Amino acid sequence: MEYSIISAWFDDAEKCGRVALQLAGQTRTVIVTRRSLLSVASPPRANEARLFQFLHSFCEIALAYGRCDPRHAETLVVTATDVRRWRRGHTQSEPLWTWQGIGSTITSVPHPIDPSAGLRASAETLERFAGA
């Protein structure tokens, strides 16, 4: 959904961000909670720099997961839960397969490995443990 950012500011008293969006001919306010600012990246920081660093991400999160404030229908609230959902959708997962070589077949991960084949004790080590 197309949107344009009209203005954005950080509220020092409440440690939250506010973004005014132009969306489908209407002006909407997005409230970015303190906990969502802390959850969006590491190390956790709730400041103006973090708000502006992830400004477009917060707008995308608001449009995808944000809830309307019950007191004001034109206000969307981005919470830490919304940020976690968004991050889960944007993380890379491990592949469920791996190539065994060029021209080979695809096998599932993890490979069954027998660790005993690679473990060989020297005669000296065996004597030391046998005498213990």
> What mean pLDDT do residues 99-127 have?
50
Whether residue 110 has a cis bond before it, omega within 30° of 0 = yes
pLDDT tens track for 27-48: 989 999 999 999 999 899 999 9
Number of C-alpha atoms within 13 angstroms, CB side, residue 35? 8
Residue 84 buriedness (CB in 10 A; 0-12 / 13-18 / 19+): middle
Write down all domains in the chain, each with its CATH number in brackets: 3-90 (3.30.160), 97-130 (no CATH)
pTM > 0.75: yes or no = no
